[in-house]
């Protein structure tokens, strides 16, 4: 059947591409819950064996599922969870190309504010609110495996005016490889 | 036609599953506009007759479309709207299983800050900015009805370091039922 | 093949509608990276020739790709980028109707806070954090062109308690045209 938009992919190929895209949305959406509950087994399960997690020069850069999962299994990370850390993911830009894909996304890291004034909002209780601790630009590189999509590389850079975050964000506009 | 990924679902079934997923994205995306405009008729229309909305022990827990819609029709809620309340939804994790589905999502509730300093941002005006009043973890349980997907239960817990929010977030990693 | 949900659209039509929706998600997701890197060529490429960008009475309202792209190419905007401005997009509500579509979405504009106290978060470094400068309600009107979906009109209004934002948000609940 000819496609209305003139491409020559089969129904099967188009359907599969869409399923890929939705699977990747869920991989990105699963990250905040995994970080905020220290779900290390899950984290280990979504990286490739040679997967990398690069948060910039001021943090260690673990390689491989076990080392990456260990980041959120540390006592330090558990303390952040007890304080109420929340990772908050925005709408990602996602491009699938055959058996690889990438996404560019923003993330906020928030913590309860324990020093500011209490705000009372009608019908929504009273709270000192939350402090937006970091805003990061992420680049995710994915590969298809026999078990589904996996993360081969995740990079995060803080949006603090430095060049690293902008370099990641510009990936959105890279020419299509196909 | 055999599927490239080896599952034995028909094209129709796969297409339908994708449409389900996108319909659920819109149900979640419609929540902030409904809360921020007190769109009670809309809110009543998206819950099942036995639907529940559970915001935790410190808030009432209405059951049924009329009672749930009444929450955002109250004078209290209208005052929050006049103050400029904004609900802000992150990317949800969504899993559809036949005629049921669930989603785990984050939400921020923001209000204009009327006590802090004025910030001036080049090309973006001056503002006292916004206060992040609450950050919540949501669990949405959906059921398919003859009229489309409806919410059977929505739970929200504040990400303030307490266990309730983490319990919701862990739902993301529950084993697949199928 | 009869559709399980009783509509009489062909597989091709349904598939195409889904692809439209996902293309529009990427158009919305591409906006923050373009604003935060001043990607003017990209911005110019996604508006129709008669496209408009309306940020409310207090800002100029450019028409056409070149004028719209010029907003983020200005020295003022570049200063905002050097300060670390971040646009952060929530999950949009998207409705496709044949060759037109619209979306209602929320956006936050954040800047690094250079006046508040330093917060230290275990495993997540120290930071003065970010100031949520604006929260806006967006309405995007899209049209299908021979080159893909393009923006015909984007409107943004600040969620500061004024009526403009609520009017945009109510668009989510407009009766379906088809």
DSSP character for B178?
A: -
C106: left (phi over 0), alpha (psi -120 to 50) or beta: beta
The interface residues of chain C toward chain A in range 7-26, judged by CB-CB distance below 8 A, are 11-13, 15-16, 18-19, 22, 25-26
Percent above pLDDT 70 for chain A: 96
Q: Are C164 and C122 in contact (CB under 8 A)?
A: no
Cβ contact A128:A118 at 8 Å = yes
Could you say which DSSP state residue C115 is in?
Answer: S
In this model, does residue A6 exceed pLDDT 70? Answer: no
DSSP C34-95: HHHHT-HHHHHHTEEEEEEEE--TTS---BSHHHHHHHTTSHHHHHHHHHT-EEEE-PPEEE
Per-residue pLDDT for A117 more than 50? yes
Task: Provide DSSP, A81-131.
Answer: HHHT-EEEE-PPEEEEETTEEEEEEEEEEEEE-SSS--EE-TTS-EE--EE
C98 touches chain A (CB under 8 A): no
φ/ψ of residue A4, rounded to 5: -60, -30
CA atoms within 13 A on the CB side of A175: 2
Show which of residues 99-138 on chain C sit within 8 Å of chain A, judged by CB atoms: 105, 110, 112, 117, 119, 121-125, 127, 129-132
Nearest to C152 by CA among C101, C87, C106, C108: C101
Nearest CA in chain B to A36: B166
Question: Which chain B residues are within 8 Å of A136, Cβ to Cβ?
Answer: none
The answer to whether the Cβ–Cβ distance between B29 and C134 falls below 8 Å is no
Minimal-distance CA residue of chain C relative to B79: C161
Q: pLDDT tens digits, residue range B17-56? A: 999 999 999 999 999 999 999 999 999 999 999 999 999 9
Helix axes B163-170, A11-37, angle to 10 degrees: 160
Q: What is the pTM of this model?
A: 0.95
Question: What pLDDT sits at residue A5?
Answer: 53
Residue B4, C-beta contacts closer than 8 angstroms, at least 6 positions apart: A12, A13, A16
- The closest alpha carbon to A50, from A154, A159, A128, belongs to A154
CB B53 within 8 A of CB B71: yes
Of the candidates B106, A130, B129, the one whose C-alpha atom is nearest the C-alpha of residue C132 is B129
Task: Using an 8 Å CB-CB cutoff, list chain C residues near A158.
Answer: 127
Percentage with pLDDT > 90 across chain A: 81
Instruction: Measure in Å the smallest separation between the Cα of C129 and chain A Cα atoms.
Output: 4
CB B68 within 8 A of CB B41: no
Subunit partners of chain C (3 or more CB pairs within 8 A)? A, B
**C88 contacts chain A (CB < 8 A):** yes
Number of continuous H segments (helices) and E segments (strands) in chain B: 5, 8
Average pLDDT over residues B159-171: 95
Q: Tens digit of pLDDT for each residue in C114-169?
A: 888 898 998 888 889 999 999 999 999 999 999 999 999 999 999 999 999 999 99
What is the number of other CB atoms lying within 10 angstroms of the CB of residue B153?
Answer: 18
pLDDT band at B2, cuts 50/70/90? Answer: very low
Contact B151, B62 (CB under 8 A): no
Q: Which ipTM score applies to this complex?
A: 0.94
Mean pLDDT of all residues in chain B?
A: 93
Query: Residue A12 above 70 pLDDT?
Result: yes
């Amino acid at each position: 059947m000819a496609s209305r938009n003139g491409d020559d992919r089969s129904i099967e190929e188009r359907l599969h591409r869409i399923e890929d895209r939705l699977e990747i949305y869920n991989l990105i959406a699963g990250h905040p819950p995994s970080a905020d509950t220290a779900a290390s087994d899950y984290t280990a399960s979504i990286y490739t064996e040679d997967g990398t997690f690069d948060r910039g020069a001021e943090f260690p850069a673990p390689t491989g599922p076990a080392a990456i999962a260990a980041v959120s299994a540390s006592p330090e990370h558990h303390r952040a969870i007890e304080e109420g850390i929340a990772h908050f993911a925005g709408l990602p830009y996602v491009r699938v190309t055959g058996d690889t894909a990438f996404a560019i996304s923003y993330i906020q890291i928030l913590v309860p504010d324990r020093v500011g004034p209490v705000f009372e909002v009608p019908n929504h209780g009273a709270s000192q609110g939350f402090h937006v601790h970091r805003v990061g630009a992420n680049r995710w590189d994915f590969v298809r495996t026999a078990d589904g999509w996996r993360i081969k590389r995740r990079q995060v850079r803080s949006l603090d005016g430095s060049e690293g975050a902008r370099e990641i964000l510009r990936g959105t506009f890279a020419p299509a490889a196909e």
